[in-house]
Amino acid sequence: MAIFKEDALKQEHVLITGATGGIGFETAKAAVQAGASITITGRNKEKLETLKNECEKLVADAKVNVLPADLNNEQDRATLIENAIKERGTITGLVNSAGIGGGDTLDQLQEEDLRKVMELNYFSTVLLTQLVYSKMRDDKKKGSIVNLSSLSGLRGTFGNTAYSASKFAITGFTQSFAHEAIRDGIRVNAVCPGFVDTEMGRNSIESKGKRENKSFEEELKAVEEAMPSGRITQPEEVANSIIYLLSNASENIIGESLKISGGSVMR
C-alpha cells in the first residue's frame, strides 16, 4: 500500500462483509493500515476473531469491531447495522465482499443451488446496502460503497451460469445505484477480479480442470499461461484496489467496474 497514507481512511468507519474470505480478510487488514475504524462480519466468529488479532498486530491501536451475522437473515442484517453504528458511529464505507461460488451448466443446474447463489451474492447484498445507505443519508454523511463483482459479471464463461448471473446483477446494481447515491455524496463502484489466489478461486480453477480432465496444477498453469501478466491475482491486490475506491483519491470515480484481470480482459 505504498501510495496510501496511514491516515487515508482516518475518521472513516468501514463495514466489511465476507471478512472471513480471502479478499474480505485482506481488505480488513488494508483498511486498518489506512487508519479506518472497521466492523467485520461473517458467519464464523472464530475466524473473525483471528482477523481482529491480525489487524491488531499490524496496527497497535486498531479499532476492530467483530459482529458475526448471517446476511441472508433479515433480522441479522438489521441487528448488524444497529450494533455497528452503536459501537463505531455512522458507517461511511461499505465493502460488500460476502459471496459464494457454485452452479453448473444449465442442463445440470439445480434450483436449490441457483437460489443459494443468487440469495447471498445478490439479494442479501442489495438489502444490506439499502440499510446502510439509509443510515448514511439520514446522517448526511458522504461515503463510498464498493461491491465485489467479478470478471464473470462482465462476460459469461462455460459452466458458470448461476455465479455469472449473480455477478452481472451486482454490476448492474452498482451502475444503477451509483446514479441515485451520488445525489447524497455517496459513491458506488465495483471491483471485478478474475481468478484470485483464495479458497474460492482455487476451487474454481479445480472445477474448471475437472471438466477438462486436468489436475489443479495443470489447469492453474494453463490459466496463468493464457494471461498477459503470467499469474493470477493475489487477494492483497484486490484489497488495495478496494481501499483506493474507498478513499478520496478516487472521489470522481462513480459507477465503475474496475477490472483486475492480469490483462486477460481488455475492454
The reply to whether CATH 3.40.50.720 applies to domain 13-194+234-259 is yes
What residue segments make up the domains of the chain, in order of their start?
13-194+234-259, 197-232
Q: Could you tell me what percent of the chain has a pLDDT over 90?
A: 76
Q: Where are the alpha helices (DSSP H) in 36-141?
A: 45-58, 74-88, 111-118, 125-138
244 is catalytic: no
| Nine cell digits for residue 166 | 449473480
Q: Give the model confidence (pLDDT) of 122-178 as tens digits.
A: 999 999 999 999 999 988 878 999 999 999 889 998 888 999 999 999 999 999 999
Burial of 37 by CB count in 10 Å (0-12 exposed, 13-18 middle, 19+ buried)? buried
Answer whether 42's CB lies under 8 Å from 68's CB. Answer: yes
* Element of type H or E holding 201: helix 199-211
The terminus-to-terminus CA distance of the chain in angstroms comes to 26
pLDDT bin (cut points 50, 70, 90) of residue 265 is: confident
User: Rounded CA gap, 90 and 81, in Å?
Assistant: 9
Has residue 267 got a pLDDT over 80? no
Longest CA–CA span in the chain (Å) reads 55
Provide the mean pLDDT of the chain: 93
pTM of structure:
0.93
Q: Give the model confidence (pLDDT) of 206-215 as tens digits.
A: 888 888 888 9
Q: Which of 122, 133, 163, 244 is catalytic?
A: 163
Length of the chain: 267
Phi-psi region of 45 (alpha: psi -120 to 50; beta: other; left: phi over 0): alpha
pLDDT bin (cut points 50, 70, 90) of residue 4 is: low
CA angle, corner 125, sides to 124 and 128, nearest 5?
80
pLDDT bin (cut points 50, 70, 90) of residue 205 is: confident
Which residues contact residue 141 at a Cβ distance below 8 angstroms, ignoring those fewer than 6 apart? 90, 92, 185
User: Rounded CA gap, 33 and 2, in Å?
Assistant: 11
